[in-house]
């Protein structure tokens, strides 16, 4: 028979204590692992809710027909989207309206400024949404399971997202037709924010149509490039890095179409002046004289052998008040419009006559400006789809 000594009892006691400590540590690790997994799942679900709510709010942030800021619509969209999502121990997630914050997202500094005028559609570009799963918030916290043996009965989780309704990016090469840019303030009022079509599409800088008998007695908008009070158009080379807006390059653009993408983040250079050869080249292209072939955007309405309608897409640049497009100035692109050219005079005047187009125009369906989505009359080129920036 083995004799049990005090030393043996001491060793067994130490072994038992070691086992107890080890099991406690093991249970604690298991508790943390299980509950950490639950917290990770809840954090992911809360982030999904915040992301979806921020995107929905940003999508409804601006009514582009104004444009005007629509915070009510943005809030309703955020709350509605959050409510159809679930998270751990929450069949639907509620967001406190106070946790929906509006402001301006600065692309360069990647900062969110909430101190802007919330009524200014040019400044309100982003929405920040935070969802909370906490015992003090509108949703249930994440319940603890194994961690209860450590005295923890729940975990608090939150997630934040910022969605930015910014600018659409660029017009691809070929999406505008001629090296002509329109002065925004001549088209959309002194603040460049008036809805041209809502105003009944008035004729701007009105003048009679004189070259084609088909339009006899009618008037149209005159695009004028010379530095006068009537000037409403500029010449442009579509380039941001080249301020030489010369006749040779402009004529080449008329012949070969625009080959440059136009970024709304990079200005294009503009100039004024007669540039008679450029208008002459535009006329030859409209008449489909050699080397130009048939263009489906150009029509002969009365079939008299004279083309009398040409739909062109033109960029709109920031207001030219007191600048007059002079000297190769760099100007920001703020939108685009469709313009129907009806006729032009090369000499002695250098004028292109036609009309800016709205949805009542008989050839409106042929006006496709792609990214702007509504005939180009959204002069901030707001993106149709917002993006998450944080």
Of 164, 186, 207, the last residue of a domain is 164
Asked if the structure places residue 390 within a domain, the reply is no
140 and 218, same domain (yes or no): no
Predicted local confidence at residue 376, as pLDDT: 33
Q: Assess contact for 125 and 164: CB atoms under 8 A.
A: yes
Q: Assess contact for 285 and 277: CB atoms under 8 A.
A: no
185 and 144, same domain (yes or no): no
Predicted local confidence at residue 287, as pLDDT: 92
Of 103, 132, 164, the last residue of a domain is 164
Predicted local confidence at residue 377, as pLDDT: 36
Of 132, 164, 196, the last residue of a domain is 164
In angstroms, the CA 114 to CA 123 distance is 10
pTM, two decimal places: 0.59
Provide the domain limits for residue 206. 170-385
21 and 55, same domain (yes or no): yes
Asked if the structure places residue 1 within a domain, the reply is no
Asked if the structure places residue 251 within a domain, the reply is yes
342 and 367, same domain (yes or no): yes
Residue 1 makes CB contacts below 8 A (sequence gap 6+) with: none
155 and 198, same domain (yes or no): no
Predicted local confidence at residue 336, as pLDDT: 79
Pairing mode, strands 309-317 and 180-183: parallel
221 and 365, same domain (yes or no): yes
109 and 182, same domain (yes or no): no
Instruction: Work out how many domains the chain is built from and give that number.
Output: 2
113 and 159, same domain (yes or no): yes
Predicted local confidence at residue 20, as pLDDT: 54
Nearest to 128, CA basis, from 159, 157, 94, 163? 163
Predicted local confidence at residue 372, as pLDDT: 37
Predicted local confidence at residue 14, as pLDDT: 56
Predicted local confidence at residue 18, as pLDDT: 61
Asked if the structure places residue 23 within a domain, the reply is yes
Rounded to the nearest 5°, which phi and psi values hold at 224? -120, 140
49 and 148, same domain (yes or no): yes
Asked if the structure places residue 46 within a domain, the reply is yes
250 and 374, same domain (yes or no): yes
Reply yes or no: is the peptide bond before residue 291 cis, omega within 30 of 0.
Answer: yes
Question: What pLDDT tens digit does each residue of the chain (390 aa) get?
Answer: 455 555 555 555 555 656 555 556 666 656 667 777 788 888 888 899 999 999 899 888 887 666 788 999 999 999 999 988 888 788 888 999 999 999 988 866 889 999 999 998 878 889 999 999 988 888 888 888 777 777 778 889 899 999 887 655 567 777 778 999 988 888 877 877 676 776 667 788 899 999 888 888 999 999 988 888 888 899 999 888 888 899 999 999 998 877 777 766 678 899 988 889 999 999 999 999 998 888 888 999 888 888 989 999 888 888 887 777 887 788 888 777 889 999 988 888 788 999 988 878 888 888 766 543 333 334 434 444 567 776
Given 3-state DSSP classes, what are the helix, strand and coil percentages for the chain, each rounded to the nearest 5? 30, 25, 45
137 and 268, same domain (yes or no): no
48 and 141, same domain (yes or no): yes
Predicted local confidence at residue 374, as pLDDT: 31
């Amino acid at each position: 028979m083995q004799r049990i000594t005090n030393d043996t009892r001491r060793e067994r006691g130490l072994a038992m204590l070691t086992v107890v400590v080890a099991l406690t540590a093991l249970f604690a690790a298991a508790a943390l692992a299980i509950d950490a997994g639950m917290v990770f799942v809840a954090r992911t679900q809360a982030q999904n809710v915040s992301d979806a709510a921020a995107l929905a709010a940003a999508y409804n942030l601006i009514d582009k027909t104004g444009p005007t800021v629509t915070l009510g619509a943005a809030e309703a969209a955020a709350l509605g989207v959050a409510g159809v999502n679930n998270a751990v121990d929450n069949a639907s997630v509620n967001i406190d309206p106070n946790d929906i914050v509006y402001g301006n997202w600065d692309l360069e500094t990647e900062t969110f400024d909430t101190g802007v005028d919330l009524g200014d559609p040019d400044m309100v570009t982003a929405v920040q949404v935070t969802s909370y799963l906490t015992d003090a918030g509108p949703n249930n916290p994440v319940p603890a399971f194994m961690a209860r043996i450590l005295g923890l009965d729940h975990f608090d989780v939150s997630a934040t997202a910022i969605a930015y309704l910014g600018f659409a990016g660029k017009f691809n090469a070929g999406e505008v037709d001629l090296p002509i840019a329109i002065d925004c303030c001549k088209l959309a009022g002194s603040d460049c924010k008036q809805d041209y079509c809502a105003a009944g599409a008035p004729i701007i800088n009105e003048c009679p149509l004189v070259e084609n008998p088909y339009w006899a007695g009618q008037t149209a908008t005159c695009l004028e490039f010379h530095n006068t009070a009537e000037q409403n158009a500029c010449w442009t080379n579509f380039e941001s890095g080249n301020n030489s807006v010369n006749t040779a390059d402009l004529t080449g653009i008329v012949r070969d179409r625009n080959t440059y993408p136009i970024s709304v983040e990079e200005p294009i250079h503009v100039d004024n002046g007669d540039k008679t050869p450029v208008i002459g080249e535009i006329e030859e292209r409209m008449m489909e004289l050699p080397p130009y072939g048939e263009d489906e955007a150009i029509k002969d309405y009365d079939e008299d052998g004279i083309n009398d309608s040409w739909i062109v897409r033109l960029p709109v640049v920031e207001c030219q008040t007191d600048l007059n497009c002079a000297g190769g100035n760099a100007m920001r692109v703020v939108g685009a419009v469709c313009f129907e050219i009806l006729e032009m005079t090369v000499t002695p005047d250098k004028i292109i006559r036609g009309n800016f187009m709205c949805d009542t125009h008989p050839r409106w369906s042929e006006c496709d400006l792609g990214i702007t989505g509504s005939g180009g009359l959204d002069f901030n080129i707001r993106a149709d789809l917002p993006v998450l920036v944080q």
